[in-house]
Structure 1
């Protein structure tokens, strides 16, 4: 099995350009989602939370401010290095690949903002879900926040150009062999760059198959960060709460 560190996401996510392109992701929306989620789950203050594939830690930091003991893990060394500036006795960050379980167990394990499905090998997506199950304490919760692939595919923008911090990012999208692919090309300081994001188009039906095989109970399904019901045609997100 190919090591995750050698795959496309370990290089693209570790570049500064990834964070430049996606710098406008809304903190207010993310914080609103976290408040709605912990309120719905009735997580007590001081509960332990694993933020799986935490990136630069924006969800982890906010969850910690809400009073939770948070561990954030991510494959990107640069993201973890950045996040470590926010560490305290109840907030810690470390490098880790989600397809292998941590030794610790948590009251809640959050996998947010479509941070699953990057593996080309189907087994590694399944291994990641099994790892989440092993990381949840008895009576705890797992949460996967994924894109609603049906709406994404139906509304796919084939080509666009975004200018961020003076860099023109040329983006093209397509669906191929069950993956949603995004080609990103740009030039900076005379150097040309090209990356391709690949995310498995995992539907609710496929997630249910994963869960059944892993012995996971899907308890709630929501379609947005306000935790409204999931609608295959209209929902922006596919949010799964399980145990």
Structure 2
């Protein structure tokens, strides 16, 4: 098997401790802004692609929308399943493999849950699987890092969390945006990495278009402001052709 960093890092306790600050309040505020923009009708169905522990899926289901979350991490899905109800379910799934077709009104891929794979072809396959999962005219939302913002804002962060001490750094190395994470856990020191292809705004739009979508709008932050090059995010709203 290829060295796919996400297969190990996402199943560690350290990953969930580090990102625990990504709390329900942040998820609630982003989902509120997104729903205000998308204006889904009652009963609209959502697919949360690469959902992690399901913080966005949970917010959607609590607003009455039937939601399915999928993720490669068995650890994350095991945790998320504690939240399941009639409107919310979770499955372990690799987005490079086909899943339910023509089922959903909306598909979301949030918090830079894209760009993990080695080849452009794998990413295009993932996008086409998302396209197939949507009903005709269904809406896809992709939330990714803005490469320009990363290139101008590389820094080192030291994050003490209880008895653990994290050091993170993010930079563009070749074709990738790479985040190095060092964990000091008592006498134990562990190093992990997160790495995504450094897609530009234009490259993301081109790839999503190739997968069979029309681009409706592009936004630059979680307040859904129209995208500018200095914004931290690239949030693309697209519609299935």
Q: Per the shorter chain, which TM-score range?
A: over 0.9
Q: Within 5 Å, which residues of 2 pair with 1:103-122?
A: 103-104=100-101, 105-122=103-120
Whether the 8 Å CA contact 2:150–2:172 is kept in 1: the answer is no
Give the deviation of 1:209 after TM superposition: 1.8
State the 1:189 CA deviation. Answer: 4.8
Matched with 1:186 is 183
Structure 1 residue 173: Cα displacement: 2.9
Give the Cα–Cα distance (whole angstroms) in 2 for the partners of residues 82 and 154 of structure 1: 36
Q: CA deviation at 1:27?
A: 2.5
Task: Point out where structure 2 has 5 or more consecutive residues left out of the alignment.
Answer: none
Match of 2:43 among 41, 46, 64: 46
State the Cα distance separating 1:62 from its structure 2 match.
0.8
1:111-156, Cα deviation, whole Å (9 max, x unpaired):
0111101112222122111111111111210000111121121111
User: Which deviates more, 40-49 or 189-198?
Assistant: 189-198
2:40 corresponds to 1:9: no
3-state SS of the aligned residue for 2:213? coil
Matched, 1:27 2:24: yes
* TM-score for the superposition, normalised by structure 2: 0.93
Kindly state the Cα deviation for residue 170 of structure 1 after the two structures are TM-superposed. 2.3
The count of corresponding residues between Structure 1 and Structure 2 is 238
Query: Equivalents in 1 of 2:210, 2:75: separation in Å?
Result: 34
1:236 pairs with 223, 232, 238, which one? Answer: 232
CA apart distance, 1:46 = 1.9
Contact 1:20–1:165, Cα closer than 8 Å, also in 2: no
Tell me how far 1:241 sits from its aligned partner.
Answer: 0.5
Note the C-alpha offset of 1:236. Answer: 2.1
RMSD (Å), alpha carbons: 1.5
The alpha carbon displacement at 1:29 in A equals 2.6
User: 1:146 corresponds to which residue?
Assistant: 144
Shift of 1:187: 3.0
**SS across alignment from 2:172:** strand
Give the secondary structure class of the aligned counterpart of 2:20: coil
The CA deviation at 1:80 is: 0.4
Structure 1 residue ranges without an equivalent (≥5): none
2:99 corresponds to 1:102: yes
Spell out, residue by residue over 1:43-66, the C-alpha distance to the aligned partner (whole angstroms, 9 max, x if none): 112211000011011101110000
Residue range with higher mean Cα deviation, 12-21 or 213-222: 213-222
Higher mean C-alpha displacement, 173-182 vs 57-66: 173-182
TM-score (norm 1): 0.92
**Distance (Å, rounded) in 2 between the aligned partners of 1:208 and 1:143:** 12
Report the 3-state secondary structure (helix = DSSP H, G, I; strand = E; otherwise coil) of the residue aligned with 2:21: coil
